[in-house]
Every structure is written in C-alpha cells, then in structure tokens.
Structure 1
Amino acid sequence: TDKGQQKAPHQGYLSRYSHQREVAQPGYYAVTLDTYGVRAELTSTERVGMHRYTFPATGGKPARVIIDLKEGIDDKSTDTYLEQVDPQTFVGYRFSKGWAKNQKLFFAIKTSAPVPAFALYNEAQALTGKSGKGAAVKGVLTFAKSPGTLQLKVGISPVSSQNALANIQAEVPGWDFAKVRQAAQAKWETQLGKVTIETKDPVVRRIFYTAVYHAWFAPALFNDANGDYRGTDDKVYPKAPFANYTIFSLWDTYRTEQSLFTLAQPERVGDMMQSMMAIGRQQGKLPIWHLMGNETNTMVGYSAVPALAEAYLKGTPGLDGRQVLSALKLASTRDDQGVNYVKSIGFIPADKESESVAKAMEYAIDDWSIAQVAKKLGEQADYEEYSKRAKYYQKYFDPHTRFMRGLTTDGKFQLPFDPIQSIHRQNNYTEGNAWQYTWLVPHDVPGLIKLFGSDAAFTQKLDSLFIIKGDLGASASPDISGLIGMYAHGNEPSHATTYLYSYAGQQWKTAEKVRQVLREMYLDKPDGISGNEDCGQMSAWYIMSAMGFYPVSPSSGAYVLGSPAVDKATIRLPQGKSFTVNVQNNSPKNIYIQSVALNGQPYANSYVLHRDIVAGGTLELVMGPQPNRTFGTAPANRPKEVY
C-alpha cells in the first residue's frame, strides 16, 4: 500500500510510464501504466471525475485499484475516512494541511462493477470492517481476475460525502465515458473559443491557446451542484444564490487576469465577486490569497480591492455599490501588515515593518481603486481621503538616486542602500528590488513621471532598467526570473512596466519591449513560461499583449496599446457581439504601430477604452518596421490616470 519512490519503484505500487503512450487534451487524459499494462483514462464534469481503466488479461492473477488518502500535492493528510457502503459505492473524506491549513474534501466513488474484496489500511496497518479512520487511510479494491474495463465515478464536495453522491447523480448519472468526455471537450472548445486568433505562425498559435487554457483554470468552483458550499469560517452555506469560488491569487491576478475575465468571461465575474464579498463577511476582510476555502494571508497588499473595484466600475451585474465600498474600506483600515502606519503617519517605516516599500506601493494602488468607487457613488469625503492615500507612494521616491526607497521612522531614507540586492521577505521589497519596484505606480504614471522631472528623465531611467546587470544576492527570491536587465517578467510587479513608455509619449518603445517579452519569455515547451503560472496571470499577460493591448491600471477602464503578435484576434462578447483586432502587415520585423482606426475612423490615442471594446466593433492596426514617432506622442493622446 506504499506509493514507493521513483528511484526504487519495485518497493511500492507506483508505475513506470512513457510520454509516448500519454495523451493530454482539454477534458481528457490517458496514460498506460507500463508496470501493470493498465490503460488509464480520465475525464470530468465540474464536480465529478470519471475514470476508465482497461486491465490486461491477468492470467488468473488478481487486479487491484488503490484508494490512497495519504498522498496529495504539497500537503499532509491529517484525518481521513473511507467506507464501503455497498459493493459499488465508497464514501469518505480527506482533511489535510499545507499552504491552506484546514483543507476539507469529501468524496464518493461509484464503480461500474461490484467489488468482490475490499481491504482497509491506516498506513501499513491492516484495519477490520468496512470503514476506516486515521491519518493515512488506504483502501484496496481487489478483483480475483482481470475485470477487463472498470469505470469509476468520483464525486467531490467541500460539504459532505452525501453531497458528493448527489453531485454524481446530478452530473454523471450514467456510465457512458465517451459521452462525458465529449461533453467536457465541447465545454472546453467553447471556453477556448472565447478569444480566437489568426496567425501564420503555428508556434504563436500553440502558445496563445495554451495560455487561454491556463488562464481559465482559476478561480475554481468550490461548491456543490445544489449550491451548497463551505465558507472560510468552516460553516456550511446551503443553496447559495451564486456559484462559490476559491483559489484567489489576487496579488498576481488583479494585474491582468481579472481584466481579461471582464472581457472574455463576464458571465463568471459576478459569481467571483460575490464569492469574494462572502469571504469578506465570513472572515472580516476580503480575501488576500484564498485556497480551498482557507485564507493563507500570502503576499502584500489588499489585492482583492482593485479586482472588486474594477468589476464594479465596469458594471458587473449584482454588485451593490454601497456594500462594495464598505468592503473595500474595511480591507484598507485594518491594523496589520503596516496599514496602521499608513493611517497614523502616512508611510510605513522600514525599521518597523519588512517589505515596507512593496506594501506601500500596493496599498497606493488599492487605495486609488477605492477612490474611484467612492467617486462613482458620490462619496466625496471617501474619494478625497483615498485619493490622498493613493499619492503616498511619492514619499518613497528619492530624487537623488531616482529609486523608490525605504524610509526610517524619522522620515529619512534607509541606509545602506543597494538598488539591485534583494533579501527575500526581509528587505523593503517583495520578491524584487528597487529597480523593479520604482515603476509600480500603474494608477498614476503621470505623477511618477513628474517625480522624475521630465519625460526624458523618466524614459532614460526606464531604458536603463532593461540594460542594467548585477548580482541580486544569495537570499533573493527565485521568483525574480525572466530577466531582461533588471526587468523581471517572471514576477508580477513588473508586468505593466513595458507599457509605461506610452505615458511619456514613446509608444514605439512599448512596442519594442512588449514584442521582446512575447518572443523571449513564452515558448511552446514544457518550461515555456519565465516564472510561476500564478493561477493564470502569466498567461493572461500573454493573451492581452498578443492581442495588442494591456490593462496597466485595471480600474481606470482603459487598455494601453502595445504590439500584437497575431494577425487577427476576436473576443466573443455577450449578446452575440464581438470585438476584433485586425492587424495589417504583421511580422516579426513589423512591430511598430503606423496607424490605428477604431470602427473605421482614424484613431490617435495610444490606448483603447473598455467601453468601446465591450460595445463591440473593430480595431485596425497597421504595422511597420520603423517607429512612427508621432503616434501617441501628443499629451492628449497618451494614456491617463482617469478617463
């Protein structure tokens, strides 16, 4: 009953396999377990996995299936239970702790044939009876000879094994594996078709649709077919009026993926936001990094704020503005993670709080989002207060070194200072350094440019970012990856940086850098991205940038033009509408925008508005091999703070 190890597979039940006998498709996976000659096939619905195992003739030897509740991915089982209800039904649960400390998953299993023999173990200790409870329960289903083809339906639930059984009945009442697979793949085809492209480059096509596949994985449903779900307070909420979600990697996803959802998955956004609001009610604050119904409190900032604000400002149905503002304000007025210093003295002292600059920069972004919601609701006092807080980033800018730096309690810049060094979770930056964090002002790039003194000074420093080399130090986070100079595409705080040139009237430089990142940091290989996928954020950057525009400041309602990697991109909008980007003369050399037309009319701005996209229409981009240094140059045509 022990899994064994790769270096000694004969000591456990694990099996050798070959990628040559493996199939991986959206909605379907198959592999041959070479050690046993068993063909394993998997497909699923939203809450039910369907398995099909084809056993070889065993020559009279028994065939077995192991249910191992000990094994998981990067967690440890704490309490497990398995029971045979009847010859074809098994139920149980697996509680575990890992990054999320209180993970609860209930399950039910139906087999297509009666199981003649069932044995239970806790680790290697044999148990008696038809049920077993312990830290690592395992069940062995034994058939005296090969059953030929055996199918399993595995329902999961965050609430109970009874609900898991009900999920099976609701979603997979029969045993037609091919039908379930066909339905799963049809759903994936629909989802992958939310954004379609045309390109002459098969590599770009593979990368793009792989990115879409990745982007749609999270957040994930965390409820039952009847609407029941388990809240972050461990209480069961029956028949909720919304589809409950978990896996909110918000420090990552608020930067691009949430914006992509508002364009290509608007029907899901309302449920995601209702889930976040419910989490806020249950735990007293909006989610930070929510996993398996648990708050992990990972990463800095109250990053649910820009995601929720963006959804509200873009008119997502079902969101009450007053309730949204109340939740946003609650998130921003707590006394942890340095927010107490923001409230009391207006900055976070580096000698009192680690990662002070990173926290302050994220809070400024978050507070700006709150100000925009307050403005829409006519709450002038809140608008003024949070607009003021959104400018606090300016306090960390050192005009002499032209970096964002840590401040000590007495208001002086902390010494010693090394703009390249990064000490993970200890110095003033989160998974980064001063070179990377100086640009993290997406909500007020015009204000950041003023700190530098001129467009020229700003772009000169920005040019240096992509050239400078140096040693990050032995204690730097491995997340600082995908480096071009000190630009780190493998980590999210850098994701808007290539687009900042446009705010200084140099859109052509944005085009150069965006194309370089698209070309160098995304490959059609197993290690084809430069950092963690981060729940779809890394892929969302590619999707948006490959289409030709990017949400530098998500709550602003605009997208900054870059340099599309495709010849045509179409976003399928609700009510049969669509928005299409047509790209003329596109090629690896023709990376510069020569001219733009929106719905057939000449267009001079280096940004496009969200409202114009969701109304449906066509954006025409004509590309060329040399920069058009007049496009987007005039201040009136540059991206702004608000629109």
Structure 2
Amino acid sequence: ALEGYINDFGIAMLAKALAEKNDPDDPYTPYYESDYRYFLSRAQNYVRLFNPHVGFFTGRLPSGEWRPDPDTFDPAEWWGDYTETNAWNMAFHAPHDGQGLANLYGGRAGLARKLDEFFSTPELNTGTIHEMREAKDMRMGMYGHSNQPSHHIIYMYLYAGQPWKAQDKVREVLERLYIGSEVGQGYPGDEDNGEMSAWYIFSALGLYPLRVGSPEYAIGAPLFRKATVHLENGKQLVILAPNNSKENRYVQSLKLNGVPYEKTWIRHEDLINGAVLEFEMGPEPSDWGTGIDALPPSIMPAELDGAGPPQPLGDLTDGLIATGRGTATDSAGGDTQLLFDNTSDTRWTVSSTNPWIQFEFADGPKRVEMYTLTSGVSASDTAESRSADPRSWRLLGSHDGSEWTVLDERQGETFPWRLQTRAFSVQNPGEYKYYRLEITENNGHETTSLAEVELLG
C-alpha cells in the first residue's frame, strides 16, 4: 500500500502535466484536472497506515483495527506486514510528501530524530534471506542499501532541514559499499533492472530523483571534482567541486551558472539545456540548504511544520451502513448496499435505464468535494457490459430529502474498461444530509450497473 501511494503521486504528476499542456477548452482537460486532484489526495493516504501506538507504519485488519500488538511489536523484525524488510525501513516511505511525513513525527525536528535513531539502531544478527544478511553487513544501523526500497531514506534528511547528514551518509555509501573490498563485488546487493547502478551514478553527480514522477532532483554532494554529462540535445551538464576530497564532503555553497543557489533541489528544466553546477566543499557541516525556502517540494507545504498530519479526502460513506449511521436506497429496488461495500467484486444491477441512488448521512450534513463511480456488470470487457454503464447523470444534494440542489452534472461519459474507477470533482459543493446520483441515461442496455460509489470529503 505504501508503495502504491508513491505510484498515485506519479499518476497525479502525469495528470497535472497533461492538464497544463492541454488546451483549456479541450474536453479532456477537466478530466486531467480531476485525476490530478484525486490521485494527489490518494498519495497522502499513507497517513492511514501510521500507527500512533507504536510510531511506525503497520498493517490493519479488515475491521480497520491495527494488526500488531503494541506490547510485543518490534520494528526491527522482518516479514509480517513488510515484504523483504521491516518497519524501520518503511518508516520514511513517503518521499513525495516529506513535510507530511515529518508531521507524523511531530515536525521536521522529529523527522530528524527518527532518521538519527534509524541510522544508530543495530540491524538484527540473523537472516533467512540475503537482504537480511546484507543489511547487517552494511554497518549503517537499520539502513540496508542492498535493498532498493531503502534507497531514498538518506535523502529524507533534506526534508528535516539537515542536508549535511545526507551529504555525509551518501559519501559513506559511495566510498565504502561500492568498492567490493568490504561487501559484495562492487555491488552491495541486487542490481535489479539497473537501479543499484543508477543510485550510484545519480548520487556521485550530487543529484537524486527523490520524488518519482516529478520534474526535479534532490541535491546531495558530488563524489568527483568534475563530471560532465553529455545530454541528448548536444548540451552539457558540468558539475564542478574543485576542492572535493575524502575530508571535504560537506557542501558549503552552490552556484548554478555562476549564481548562488540555496535550495536542496533543482528543476529538470534548469539542467536539460546545459548548465554548470559549482559546489564549494568543506570538512565541516555548513548552514547551506537549511532554511525553510531550501526544502524540497512536498504535497504538504513546509509552512505547516508541526501542524498535524495530512488530511486526504476519504470516503464519507465508509462503514456507515454497517453501523446504522448511513442508509442507501435506490429507485429500482436493487441491493444498493453493494455500491458501498468497498469491493468491486460485487455489483449493483437494476432493470432500469434511468435509476437514482441515494445516500443519507444519519449524523447530519457532510460536504462532498469529489465522488467516484466504478463500472460494473462483469469483469469481461464487452460491448454489452459497457452498454449498462451510466452515460449521463446529475449529483444532487438535499437537506430534507425533498428539495434538491444540482451539485454536479455530466453528459456522455464513458468507462473504457471494466471495473474502472473514475473520479469527478463536484462543481457546486456544499453540506447536505442527503445525496442522490440521478442517472438520466445509460449506454443503451435494459439494465444499469455499477460496482462502487464513493462520496469523498
């Protein structure tokens, strides 16, 4: 799930780029904008797996309860809810939202303390797979550079406002773990599609793609005194660190094309047409890159440090029917609860071409910002199954269940794939106790079908 939220961020960035590139009048542009908003919010759902009782990300039971017993939980133990790793190495698994992650630990200072503890806590002296044995051989606390899911962790010090610690640990990895005399034969673990080499190349240049899917790089510290990257367009990216040495591993200052540069991240567009990065290195940490304006981008703004965890959109109907706090009905006598059961394995199908679906919040009005519809009928993609999809509809809101206000209206929509979830931004949101999805037409079938409905707020 945690890695899925990183993927959600990547999808959001793609949707944003498509929306910005597209003509504002293009009918697809609003869809890109809605997808950006939807997936960016989903990317913050990592907060739902942060267990405050143990201070780590842990699994949940189907009931929503936390899986581990806090009295016996050991973050150093491998397996369980973690694939080929442990809770420690998943404790920083939100590189796309470093400030939001920091706030789970109380703010940037708390994130720094958590990272310090991570690198100072000894690995277990046991191992059933090679990654466990290799992690011990790294001798960097819980950090297992042999395991790719850990590769971003060093750079999370940038979000903590302590870039000098990242510079020091990146240099340690480059100088000690890739030489073959201490561990491995030049590779401190699996190459895995070139990722282990890519980490070395990026980090040796002083750059790192920390937020996957975004057009920017985190800035570490270069390994060489001079490196030249010959770009595909014929330009050159030149990275200079003339006084670089084993001792001079800390960035004192940085210039981009001769101009002082204070940020610990840089845009791809600043490099792709040729650039010169000039690092001034020194033997002691400096205050370069420590200011709030120097922090890498994050979904949660840096100005909200310590203001509490992110609040992503959530399904306001979740669990309400089972607890008697919500009621779902429809106009065609279908089993409407199937639309709100959190699984697309069940489908709501009724013998009507223009049914409505209604949800009542027993606890009072709720503000719905977005909603999702998941296509149904069958998992097989056929013209007949697609013909039962809703094509046009209106989302209505009401305070009393009698007088209705149009909140959103759609015409000629399609669901190209079976069990596809599509997100829609509510055009005219407000707080209402009753919500009704009034389907005005489907795609020509005698029945209408959906798998799931979510009301997000």
TM-score by length of 2: 0.59
Q: Residue 292 of structure 2 aligns with which residue?
A: 635
1:618 corresponds to which letter in structure 2? V
Asked if 1:362 corresponds to 2:18, the answer is no
State the distance in 1 between where 2:127 and 2:260 align: 52
Q: Residue 374 of structure 1 aligns with which residue?
A: 15
Q: 1:605 to 1:470 in 2, by over 3 A?
A: closer
Q: Residue 147 of structure 2 aligns with which residue?
A: 491
1:445 corresponds to which letter in structure 2? G
Verify the 8 A CA contact 1:572 1:578 in the aligned structure 2: yes
RMSD: 1.8
Asked if 1:504 corresponds to 2:172, the answer is no
Q: 1:402 to 1:585 in 2, by over 3 A?
A: same
State the distance in 1 between where 2:242 and 2:52 align: 43
Secondary structure of 2:39's counterpart equals helix
What does 1:579-590 correspond to in 2, within 5 Å? 579-590=237-248
What does 1:46-445 correspond to in 2, within 5 Å? 360-378=1-19, 379-416=32-69, 417-423=73-79, 427-445=80-98
Secondary structure of 2:228's counterpart equals strand
Q: Residue 561 of structure 1 aligns with which residue?
A: 219
State the distance in 1 between where 2:260 and 2:176 align: 32
Query: Which of structure 1's runs of 4+ aligned residues deviate more than 6 A?
Result: none
Q: Residue 573 of structure 1 aligns with which residue?
A: 231
1:586 corresponds to which letter in structure 2? N
Secondary structure of 1:628's counterpart equals coil
Bigger relative contact order, structure 1 or 2 (CA pairs below 8 A, ≥6 apart): 2
Asked if 1:547 corresponds to 2:190, the answer is no
Verify the 8 A CA contact 1:567 1:583 in the aligned structure 2: yes
Secondary structure of 1:605's counterpart equals coil
1:466 corresponds to which letter in structure 2? F
1:502 corresponds to which letter in structure 2? L
Secondary structure of 2:159's counterpart equals helix
Q: CA deviation at 1:415?
A: 2.0
Deviations 1:166-216 (A, max 9, x none): xxxxxxxxxxxxxxxxxxxxxxxxxxxxxxxxxxxxxxxxxxxxxxxxxxx
Verify the 8 A CA contact 1:563 1:592 in the aligned structure 2: yes
Q: CA deviation at 1:437?
A: 0.7
Q: CA deviation at 1:431?
A: 1.2
Of the candidates 83, 91, 112, which is equivalent to residue 459 of structure 1? 112
> Percent of aligned positions with the same letter in both sequences?
40
State the distance in 2 between where 1:549 and 1:612 align: 13
What does 1:24-39 correspond to in 2, within 5 Å? none
Q: 1:418 to 1:628 in 2, by over 3 A?
A: same
2:4 corresponds to which letter in structure 1? Y
Secondary structure of 1:574's counterpart equals coil
Verify the 8 A CA contact 1:489 1:530 in the aligned structure 2: yes
Q: 1:477 to 1:409 in 2, by over 3 A?
A: farther
Q: 1:546 to 1:569 in 2, by over 3 A?
A: same
Q: CA deviation at 1:474?
A: 4.7
TM-score by length of 1: 0.42
Of the candidates 530, 535, 538, which is equivalent to residue 188 of structure 2? 530
2:215 corresponds to which letter in structure 1? G
Deviations 1:500-537 (A, max 9, x none): 11112111111011111111211056712210111211
Q: Residue 417 of structure 2 aligns with which residue?
A: none
Q: Residue 521 of structure 1 aligns with which residue?
A: 177
Q: CA deviation at 1:371?
A: 1.0
State the distance in 2 between where 1:550 and 1:582 align: 17
Q: CA deviation at 1:471?
A: 2.4
Structure 2 residues without counterparts, runs of 5 or longer: 20-31, 302-457
| Aligned residue pair count | 280
State the distance in 2 between where 1:528 and 1:538 align: 10
Verify the 8 A CA contact 1:420 1:472 in the aligned structure 2: no
Q: CA deviation at 1:376?
A: 2.2
